[in-house]
Amino acid sequence: MSTATPAHWPAEDIWQAIAPLLPGFTVEVLPHIDSTNTELMRRARGGLLEPTLLVTEEQTAGRGRLGRDWHSAAYQGTGAVPALTFSLGLPLAPHDWSGLSLAVGVSVAESLQPVLPPAGSGQPRILLKWPNDLWTDDGRKLGGILVETASLAGASGTAGEPRYVVVGIGLNVLPVLTQGLRTPPACLREVDATLTAARALQRIAAPLVQALLGFAEHGFAPFQARFARRDLLAGRAVTLSDSTQGTAHGVTDDGTLLVHTARGMQPVTSAEISVRPQ
């Protein structure tokens, strides 16, 4: 297990909380890397399959969904880390992988904003945009999730067999420079002024492991209602990537998005299209 960097990452505390759940678990904090997801996938393909939390202060070649770039770097000369960038890798064997990124989003949002407003008094501050983004209630992106898997040696690919899953998460912690952006991204300091990258990681890490283990056991269904309470798209007009327009009607118990279009109710999976509010 690595020692803390000058940013005072709580590696020891996180390890103590998670090691009883994941034998062989390690925490690594690196000053910079191309991509935490890429590194854990490289290791997995090389046969290194230990449960690992890999955190970096600077990511130079990060990847988002559909191949989009995602970069982060410490503020020069300050030691402040403006974004939380980490990946969690572990062997997992759910019966159905559908909805995993949504379950991850639910866990992260609940860790960062555990108390919801009373019913009827407004939206949660942190919302979930299907299939893998976190937004704030004023319509700005806060962060994203990228889930990748690698087959284990000798696996046949049948349902229920273990794979090595890498869950990558990137969250803006401090305000982001916004040259060329019409809408500035949101940051965690707007949600909770006490949060740093290190404190946010400590809130997120152990509940995320518990969520992944729960997902492996029960699938997405137990997360469905929790996702619905933070569903950014529910009831909103949306445009699909093939230009089809409709209204989002929540997600099913396997995480499929339902969109009512001129052709009727259309099920949408993350492998087929992207969705954006109109």
- pLDDT tens digits for range 223-233: 999 999 999 99
- pLDDT tens digits for range 265-275: 999 986 567 77
CA angle in degrees (0–180, nearest 5) for 56-29-27: 125
Which is it for strands 26-30 and 52-56: parallel, antiparallel or unpaired?
A: parallel
| pTM for the predicted model, two decimal places | 0.89
User: Is the separation of the CB atoms in 113 and 190 below 8 Å?
Assistant: no
User: Is the separation of the CB atoms in 109 and 137 below 8 Å?
Assistant: no
Give the per-residue pLDDT at 157: 54
Tell me the percentage of the chain whose pLDDT exceeds 70. Answer: 83
The band of 153, judged by pLDDT with boundaries at 50, 70 and 90, is confident
Q: 121 pLDDT exceeds 70?
A: yes
- pLDDT tens digits for range 249-266: 999 999 999 999 999 999
E strands within 123-268? 126-129, 133-136, 141-151, 163-172, 237-240, 245-251, 257-261, 264-268
- Section 136-160 average pLDDT: 84
What is the identity of the amino acid at 236?
A: R
- pLDDT tens digits for range 81-116: 799 999 999 999 999 999 999 999 999 999 999 988
- pLDDT tens digits for range 20-41: 999 999 999 999 999 999 999 9
Mean pLDDT of the chain: 88
- pLDDT tens digits for range 176-194: 766 666 778 999 999 999 9
